[in-house]
């Protein structure tokens, strides 16, 4: 029974991850109505540190050595720090929630290229075809979007997020795979809490409107995203090749766009839908074995 449950959980995990990760862009749009990007992220990460500290105190996992702590801190800055900061800044610069996921959605192309050289993973011709198909799908979703003015700064922030989450995923797989996820995540979240706190004090006004909408969205981001989906991401990284895990990010723009269309009325036309279908096909090809 346990083995059947484990197999079912392993099959469902990628789909659950995509849905949870996509909700992060939606919830971020809600919280940014009541707080500036770095201020909100500092509050979110401080809350996550408290929750992770409780988990660590109960589970008492093996603590990493000094080298492991350093690697966890670097991974945290890349995965939680620069990536989330870039995404929040992009949305705050008028990039719609559905589109803020698009540039990071190019991650599989960059990951497969780096993994091929850095991790020694072999990317098959079929997988390369899937990656290129996914890139075409993202381009279709991006068609006819504004790229200048304030939106230009938003797209730049999204580009920084792309590089950061790609390097962070590869770094986590190479250097943090043997570190207990609970202890490692606590180190990562403490690191980025300090990073965001300093950034918020230096560059923002630190004004927060504690509305019901803000509190609910913040709770979702802290508990479901920072603990649930990140834990699931690291579990997937340990079980699958970096290219296969990265391919899941092709689905995030499509799912996020669908959510944003339903919640915010963000445009979802026939060409964008065609791009979503291409992204889904790309994930299938990239995850093919043999």
Tokens found for residue 3: 């083995």
- Residues 230/132/145/98 CA torsion (nearest 10 deg): -20
What CA–CA distance (Å, rounded) separates 80 from 242?
18
Residue 7 in any domain: the answer is no
What CA–CA distance (Å, rounded) separates 199 from 206?
10
What CA–CA distance (Å, rounded) separates 160 from 171?
16
Residue 57 in any domain: the answer is yes
User: Which residues are paired to 208 by β-bridges?
Assistant: 35
pLDDT tens digit sequence for 64-111: 999 999 999 999 999 889 989 999 998 888 777 776 777 776 676 777
Residues 6+ apart with CB under 8 A from 262: none
Residue 1 in any domain: the answer is no
Q: Total domain count for the chain? A: 1
Residue 254 C-beta-side C-alpha neighbours within 13 Å: 28
Tokens found for residue 188: 């990562």
Residues 6+ apart with CB under 8 A from 219: none
What CA–CA distance (Å, rounded) separates 248 from 16?
11
pLDDT of 131 reads 78
Residue 6 in any domain: the answer is no
Residue 37 in any domain: the answer is yes
Residues 6+ apart with CB under 8 A from 245: 169, 233, 236, 237
For 14, 145, 212, the CA distances from 267, given in Å and listed in that order, are 26, 11, 27
Alpha helices in the chain (DSSP H): 2-31, 37-59, 66-76, 83-92, 97-100, 107-118, 125-142, 150-175, 181-203, 212-219, 230-239, 242-247, 251-264, 270-286
pLDDT of 245 reads 73
Domain encompassing residue 35: 14-286
Sign of CA pseudo-dihedral 184, 188, 191, 193:
negative
- Stretches where the chain sits below pLDDT 70 are 1-10, 99, 105-106, 108, 113, 115-121, 142, 144-151, 241-243, 246, 287-290
Residue 47 in any domain: the answer is yes
Residue 3 in any domain: the answer is no
pLDDT of 290 reads 46
SS3 sequence, 155-214?
HHHHHHHHHHHHHHHHHHHHHCCCCCHHHHHHHHHHHHHHHHHHHHHHHCCCCECCCHHH
Tokens found for residue 270: 């026939």
Sign of CA pseudo-dihedral 16, 41, 179, 60:
negative
Question: Could you tell me the pTM of the whole model?
Answer: 0.81
């Amino acid at each position: 029974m346990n083995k059947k449950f484990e197999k079912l959980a392993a099959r469902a995990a990628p789909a659950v991850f995509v849905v949870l990760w996509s909700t992060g862009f939606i919830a971020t749009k809600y919280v940014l109505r009541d707080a500036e990007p770095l201020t909100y992220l500092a509050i979110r990460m401080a809350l996550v540190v408290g929750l992770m500290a409780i988990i660590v105190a109960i589970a008492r996992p093996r603590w990493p050595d000094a080298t492991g702590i350093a690697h966890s801190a670097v991974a945290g800055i890349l995965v939680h720090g620069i990536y989330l900061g870039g995404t929040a800044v992009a949305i705050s610069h008028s990039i719609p929630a559905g589109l803020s996921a698009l540039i990071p959605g190019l991650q599989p192309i960059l990951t497969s290229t780096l993994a091929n050289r850095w991790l020694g993973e072999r990317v098959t011709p079929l997988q390369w075809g899937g990656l290129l198909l996914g890139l075409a799908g993202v381009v279709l979703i991006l068609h006819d979007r504004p790229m200048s003015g304030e939106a230009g700064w938003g797209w730049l922030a999204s580009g920084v997020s792309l590089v950061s989450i790609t390097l962070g995923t590869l770094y986590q797989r190479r250097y943090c795979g043997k570190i207990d996820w609970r202890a490692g995540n606590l180190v990562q979240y403490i690191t980025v809490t300090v990073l965001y706190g300093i950034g918020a004090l230096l560059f923002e006004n630190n004004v927060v409107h504690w509305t019901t909408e803000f509190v609910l969205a913040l709770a979702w981001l802290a508990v479901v995203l920072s603990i649930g989906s990140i834990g699931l991401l690291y579990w997937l990284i340990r079980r699958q090749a970096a290219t296969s895990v990265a391919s899941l990010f092709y689905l995030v723009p499509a799912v996020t766009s669908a959510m944003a269309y339903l919640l915010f009325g963000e445009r979802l036309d026939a060409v964008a839908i065609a791009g979503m279908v291409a992204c889904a096909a790309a994930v299938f090809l990239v995850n093919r074995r043999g």
